Every structure is written in C-alpha cells, then in structure tokens.
Chain A
Amino acid sequence: MTTQVAETGHDDHAHGPAKGITRWLFTTNHKDIGSMYLIFSLIMLFIGGSMAFVIRAELFQPGLQLVEPNFFNQMITMHGLIMVFGAVMPAFVGLANWMIPLMIGAPDMALPRLNNLSFWILPFAFSMMMVTLFMDGGGPNFGWTFYAPLSTTYAPPSVTFFIFAIHMMGASSIMGAINVVVTIVNMRAPGMGYMKMPMFCWTWLITAFLLIAVMPVLAGVVTMMLMDIHFGTSFFDAGGGGDPVLFQHVFWFFGHPEVYIMILPSFGVVSQVIPTFARKKLFGYHSMVYAIIAIAVLSFVVWAHHMFTVGMPLAGELFFMYTTMLIAVPTGVKIFNWVSTMFKGSMTFETPMLYSIAFVILFTIGGLSGIMLALAPVDFVYHDTYFVVAHFHYVLVPGAIFGIFAAVYYWLPKWSGKMYDEGLAKFHFWVSFVGLNLTFFPMHFVGLAGMPRRIPDYPLQFADFNMIVSVGAFLFGTSQLIFVFILIKTLRSGKAAPQSPWESAEGLEWTIPSPAPYHTFATPPKVD
C-alpha cells in the first residue's frame, strides 16, 4: 500500500489548536481527544494500581493487618472496575482516536463533537463511582461482576451511584464505538478497500461492533438492579419468580464480549508492530481478519462458561464447554500467523517489538490456561480460585496492557515528534516483564492448591507464594513510574523524530510529518 499524495498542508480553514483550557474542553480534534483519553487512562491505571497495592499489601502475610474485610472487598471491586472501564477501554479508544483517522486517511473522526462528549462523560462517571468510597457504608463491595443479590438487597446504599456511573460509562462507550464504526465505514480514503485496511482498524471495527451490541445489555442489567433495589421488582428474587442466576446470564452476555473488547485492539497493535520489526508483511492477512470475525461471533455464545458452577442443566454445560473450546481455533490461527510473520524475517528488537513478543508469549500462556478453564468438569475445581485470577491477568496485563505499551512506544514519535529513550524503555520493559511474571505466575500454583479468590486472609499453606506474588506486584506497579518518567523525558527533551522512525513501517500514518500536524488529510490521500 503506497500513497500517491502525502497531503500535509492545511489552509486558512484549518487552524492550529486553540489556546488555554478551552482547547481541551471544547475540542473536536481527534488527536486532542485521543491524547485526553490516553492521559485519563494513565491516571486511572495508577489509581487502579494503587488499589492493587492495598490488596497485595494485605495479602502479603496471612492475618488481617492493614484493612478490614469490607474495605478489602471495596478495593477488589474498584480495582476491577477501574482497570476495565477506566484504564484499558479508554486507552484503546484513545489509540483509536489518534490512529484510525491517520491510518485510513480521514480528516478526523466522523462525528467530532460526539467524540468529545464520549470522552468528557468519563471523568464525571468515574468521579461519581469513586466518590462512593467516601459515602456512608462505603463503596461497591460486591466484586466487579456485582452478582445479585449481594449487589441488590445486600448492597451498601451507595450502589445507586454505582449504577448510574455504569450507565454513564456505557453511554460513553456506545457513542465512542458508533463513532469508530462510522469513521471506518464512511471515511476511508479513496482506494482503501476493507481488505486493504491496516489490521488495527479491522480489530477496532469488530471491537466497536461488540461494544454497540453489548453495552446496552449492561445498561439493561444495571437497570434491573436499580428496579429491584428501589422499586420492589423481583428479577433476581425467587420469591417473586425471578432468579439470581438470571443476573449472571445477562451480565456475562455483556461480560464475555467485553473481555474480547479488551483484547482485540491489542491484537491489532501487535499485528502492526510485528511486521514492522520483522521487516516482512503480516502473514495471512485474510485469515487474520476472518479469525477476528470468528472470535467476535463466537463471543456471543460462550458466556455461561463463567458460570459452570451455578448448576446449569447438563445440556447447557456441554454446549458452553464446546463453544468455548472452539474459540481456541481462531485464536490459535492468530498466534500461528504472528509466529509465521517473525519466521524468516529480519528482526530487530526495539521496545514496541519487545512488548509485542512478550504479548504473544504471555497471551498464549493465558490462552492455554483458558483452554483448561473451558473444560467444565475441571472448572469445578478451578472456578473462583487464584487459577482464574492468574488466567485473566495473563490475558489482560500482557494482553491488553502490553499491547497498549507497544502501541505507545510505536506511535509516540508520531504523536510527539520526539524519540523516546530506547535504553530506558527497554529497562521499563524488562522490569515490567519480570514483575508481571513474578506476580501472576505463582497465582496458578496457589489457585490449583486451593486458594479462593476475593479473600482478605488465607490459610497458612498459601503464605509463601502470596508473599512472592506481593513482591512481584510491588515491583510491577513501581516499574510503571519508569514509564511516566520516559513519557515526560520524551516530551521535554527527546530527540526529534523523523517522519518514519522505523525502518520498514508501512501505512498512511508514516506519510505525514512527525509530530502529526493538528489537521491531517483534510484532502484525502489516494491509495492504490
């Protein structure tokens, strides 16, 4: 894919950024909004991370040392919610905002004002959610999955605020997703067919579709909670003919596609980065696209594998076990394709590549433990233990978060016009890598040995591994300060970056100067 016209100029109509705070409050610029999303996500990462600190500090040794069980439960709940809705998802939307218009040669997102609204809902929504921690009775303490009736009849009074905060996040996600879909469908430069789109755009197109399909379902389930709490309905109460398990079905109908929402854009990032540093085209582009579509379709029919122990009828249990196993096939195809892209390439190992390789390895480990968890009879033992915690942190931390790090290092020169410090960045990678594995690998062991998740205190036989896990978590958490340092250093004193800092990077984003001008592709480029 090459461009005939590298349109960079902008005329009288396209101003630079406005001065002062209104630049950010009133902006319609996809780059500004992308930056705001990314910064917001970084702040949330640290808030959610400090909650993980509290959790791991309490679990450093058996016994109750620092916090009371009720506060501990609030910490695990908020850690989950903030990381999912505050850190990972906004980071992906930020990347989408920055990169999709640049990659498809669009002047901006399709609906720029709506785009700004999607972002600005988030700070309000998270304020509303976090302020519950200071309310009478404390914040949400029922886990990020908020199973009824613990989250309804037995919830603290602040749950109403939690429900409306979730509604706001949902509205923001739906609007953001509509914007992405419309941008990709309607704004591609002439000549850029769907099968010529960069893989990142493909993964985001599917992600946005999933978001539009399932966020309303989340809104539905929290609405039913609200009705049960305040208006006496009985959706989740057998006394009125409802069923607490119904909550879980509706929640996971949202929740399972949601976990793919948190991984697909990372697939996209890695599919951009690996070919660049292997100096070879992505292997099996078409099968990659079909694999994403297959994963997305399957994600709607696997939800109850989160619920193998709720006592579903045997037929349901078998159905969800089989469909879940099927997901391994398209996921495997993606992994094989990435490995084949590296095979017989000419590889160098800059930081984005290191993160991408770590992504492939560690995500595969998380995927394999996913296959183990998919087996219903064995899941009777794994379910709700630290084995599950290990599994989903292996797919989310080296999956989603490493994907985001890879993206940031890969495109930071384009965003800022400055090169980051490669030595420091590699240091950040290695410390993160060691810290991550030290944190999450031993969780497999304590889980198999029988430690339930979400407990503030544990029997003595789990003490040694828990101490290691906590040390790893402190290392991993602290090492993210290096990341902040690298960002600041790059912005303040990084070397000027060339238009295309990577030797064989392809795509429209590398045909514009670094930093990317405030307005790009006001005239669409032609792609052959």
Chain B
Amino acid sequence: MGTHQEYYVPQQSHWPIVAATGIFLTLGGLAMVLSDMRQNQDMGLSLGVFLVGSLVMAYMFAGWFGNVISESHEGLYSNQLTASFRKGMGWFIFSEVMFFAAFFGVLFYVRVLSIPWIGGEGDKGMAHMLWPDFAAQWPLLVNPDPEKFPSPDAIIDPWHIPLLNTILLVTSSFTLTFAHHALKAGNRAKIKLFMLVTLALGITFLGFQAYEYMEAYNHLNLTLETGVYASTFFLLTGFHGAHVTVGTIILLVVFVRVLKGHFTADNHFAFEAGAWYWHFVDVVWLMLFMLVYVF
C-alpha cells in the first residue's frame, strides 16, 4: 500500500474561478455584441467586454496548463492520475461526438423528412398546399419561400477542394501517428519532422476551407441566409473547422513542448490527448465529406 502521494490532490487553485469569470465575460460580451447588432446600436462597450473575457480566457489557459505541466514535471502525477486524465479526455471527446451527432441528426431530418413533406411527398405531404411552387430537392437550390430565403446559385463541388481537404486531413492523421511512434521510440528529430508536417497539413486544410467559404459567399451566393441546405452546410463544416482550429492550436502547443524537450516515451499524455482529438476531427470530416458534400 502506497502513501497519500499515490493520488495527487492539488491544494487551492485560483484558475477555476478565473476561468468561470472568463467564460462569463466572453459569452456575456458576445451576447451583448449580438444584441447590439440586432438593434443597430453602438457596440464599443460590448466588444470591450468580449475582448477582456477572451484575454482572461487566454491567460487562464496558459496559466492552468502551465501549472499542470510543471506539476507533471515535479513527478506529482501517478499512473492512476494520468489514467484520470485519459478517461476524462475520452469522455470529453464522446461529448463532442454527441454535439456533432445532433447536427447530423438535423441534416437527416431536413433531407429525409421536412423537405419532402414541404414538396408534397410522404405522410405529411399535405404541407405542399402552402408551398404550391416548391419541388423537393437536395441540395436545396430553390427554397420554399424564395422571397424570404433567396436561393443559392450552386453548391460546392465535392471533387475539388473538399476531396483535396479529405486527402490532407487523412494524411495528417497518418503523419501524427508516425510522430507518436517516433515519440515512443525516442527519436526526437523524427517527432519534430512529422509534427511539423501534420501542422502544415492542418493549416493548409484551414486555408482551403476559408477559401471555400469565400468562394461560396462571393461566387455561389451560398450564404447562411440561403435556406436550410446552406444552414446545415455552414453549421457542420463551420463547427468542424472550429474544431480543426482548436486541434491545430493543441498540436502547436504540443510541438512547442516537444521543442523544449518535454515528454518521454511512456509519459506524454498531452501528446496523446492532442492526437485523439485530431483523429476525432478527422473522423468527423470523413462523415462530413460523405454526407454533406458527396451524397
């Protein structure tokens, strides 16, 4: 039987309350900005609150994770504690899966149920009498109410940028795994190389995604306001893009830590957590590519 140090329970920490304050200011500020926008008011103060909140969040992340890293280096973390981290990360990713599942459910519903109904098909096809000019189609290029929701001219062709992006992201999953193997084998140069490649692939992906959005807005008239096809498209790809951004930042931090000589062959939870997250966004992308772009 070991001592109490088997499971490290930290003493007081001010980071949680800083984090709660930061979340409050960020989201409160965002709500103020949106309200001001809707009512055409000056949003100087609101933006200020939002900015302060974001800074507090950045400070908190840096401080809290810094704290954890130094505790880890002090050797305070037992295997059991690392297991807590792993399991916590695993369940967090599960919650993210459910978040995306909700949006995929929405996509399913509008494609399979609501749009056919409005177009006069299925059990509730009677709805067609309210939209006599509408014909059910997917992608939805003519909305039931084209006056309120102008229709997009075209949608993104899956076999150009999206296909390229698929290749990029799948490749990056492989390169990250190579980096992981290198880490386990203790080959520092190889870790750095593969992490750098992974990061480059991720950033390129994001760049392409941004280009695609600009294309959609500028040339295809595919915007948030153009009906439910665009709504689901932007929400799914947008949240995915946000997750890739977060994943890239995580990997960037891990990369910097690698440069600083952190991590050993059997103690590199942060690396693993970042890798799991990266694989998760990769899998989400594959679903997206199939269900949003291709079919």
- In the complex they form, whether A and B have CB atoms below 8 Å apart is answered with yes
Chain B residues within an 8 Å CB radius of A11:
4
Contact of B9 among A18, A107, A238 (CB under 8 A): A107
Provide the bound-state CA to CA distance between A167 and B102, in Å: 15
Q: Which of A53-61, A114-122, A427-435 contacts B (4 or more CB under 8 A)?
A: A114-122
Known: A160-B34, A161-B28. A242 touches B4 (CB 8 A): no
CB-based contact B144/A249 at 8 Å:
no
Contact of B20 among A13, A117, A230 (CB under 8 A): A117
Q: Using an 8 Å CB-CB cutoff, how does the interface string of A411-445 with B read, 1 for contact, 0 for none?
A: 00000000000000000000000000000000000
Contact of B145 among A128, A240, A246 (CB under 8 A): A240
Residue A157 at the B interface, CB < 8 A?
A: yes
Number of interface residues of A (CB under 8 A): 87
CB-based contact A26/B235 at 8 Å:
no
CB-based contact A216/B102 at 8 Å:
yes
CB-based contact A523/B4 at 8 Å:
yes
**Interface members, chain B 50-99 (any A CB < 8 Å):** 64, 80, 83-85, 87-88, 91-92, 94-96, 98-99
Q: Which of A219-227, A279-287, A382-390, A447-455 contacts B (4 or more CB under 8 A)?
A: A219-227
Known: A240-B143, A243-B114. A26 touches B13 (CB 8 A): yes
Chain A: CB-nearest residue to B223 = A232
Residue A185 at the B interface, CB < 8 A?
A: yes
Residue A217 at the B interface, CB < 8 A?
A: yes
Chain A residues within an 8 Å CB radius of B1:
523-524
B22 → chain A closest CB, angstroms: 10
Residue B255 at the A interface, CB < 8 A?
A: no
CB-based contact A246/B110 at 8 Å:
yes
Residue B256 at the A interface, CB < 8 A?
A: no
**Interface members, chain B 205-257 (any A CB < 8 Å):** 223-232, 234-235
Q: In which size bucket is the chain B interface? A: 35 or more
Chain A residues within an 8 Å CB radius of B10:
28, 112-113
Q: Which of A73-81, A174-182, A496-504 contacts B (4 or more CB under 8 A)?
A: A174-182
Chain B residues within an 8 Å CB radius of A112:
9-10
CB-based contact A241/B4 at 8 Å:
no
Chain A residues within an 8 Å CB radius of B122:
313
CB-based contact B140/A227 at 8 Å:
no
Residue A369 at the B interface, CB < 8 A?
A: no
Main secondary structure of the interface of A (DSSP, over half): helix
Chain B residues within an 8 Å CB radius of A114:
16, 88
**Interface members, chain B 1-27 (any A CB < 8 Å):** 1-7, 9-17, 19-21, 23-24, 27
Contact of A249 among B20, B101, B109 (CB under 8 A): B109
CB-based contact A313/B143 at 8 Å:
no
CB-based contact B11/A28 at 8 Å:
yes
B174 → chain A closest CB, angstroms: 28
Residue A311 at the B interface, CB < 8 A?
A: yes
Residue A124 at the B interface, CB < 8 A?
A: yes
**Interface members, chain A 75-129 (any B CB < 8 Å):** 106-108, 110-114, 116-117, 120-121, 123-125, 127-128
Chain B residues within an 8 Å CB radius of A125:
24
CB-based contact B102/A233 at 8 Å:
no
Contact of B109 among A215, A230, A246 (CB under 8 A): A246
Chain A residues within an 8 Å CB radius of B229:
241
Chain A: CB-nearest residue to B131 = A238
Residue B276 at the A interface, CB < 8 A?
A: no
Residue A253 at the B interface, CB < 8 A?
A: yes
Provide the bound-state CA to CA distance between A226 and B239, in Å: 14
Chain A residues within an 8 Å CB radius of B196:
none
Residue B38 at the A interface, CB < 8 A?
A: yes
Chain B residues within an 8 Å CB radius of A221:
102
Interface residues of A (CB under 8 A from B): 10-11, 13-15, 18, 22-23, 25-28, 106-108, 110-114, 116-117, 120-121, 123-125, 127-128, 157-158, 160-161, 163-164, 167-168, 171, 174, 177-179, 181-183, 185-187, 212-217, 219-221, 223-224, 226-227, 229-235, 237-243, 245-246, 249-250, 253, 311, 313-314, 519, 522-524
Closest 6 CB pairs of A and B: A239-B145, A220-B102, A522-B4, A313-B123, A232-B225, A241-B228
User: What would 17 more interface pairs be, CB under 8 Å, given A121-B20, A181-B91, A242-B114?
Assistant: A28-B11, A107-B9, A111-B84, A117-B19, A127-B24, A160-B35, A161-B35, A227-B224, A230-B37, A233-B228, A233-B230, A237-B148, A238-B130, A238-B144, A241-B227, A243-B117, A524-B6
Can you pick out 28 interface pairs between chain A and chain B where the beta carbons lie within 8 Å of each other?
A: A10-B4, A13-B4, A13-B5, A15-B11, A25-B17, A110-B87, A113-B64, A116-B17, A124-B21, A128-B31, A157-B38, A160-B31, A160-B34, A168-B27, A217-B101, A224-B106, A224-B235, A232-B223, A234-B143, A239-B149, A241-B110, A241-B118, A241-B143, A242-B114, A243-B110, A249-B105, A250-B102, A523-B2
Interface residues of B (CB under 8 A from A): 1-7, 9-17, 19-21, 23-24, 27-28, 30-31, 34-35, 37-39, 64, 80, 83-85, 87-88, 91-92, 94-96, 98-99, 101-103, 105-106, 109-110, 113-115, 117-118, 122-124, 127, 130-131, 140, 143-145, 148-149, 223-232, 234-235
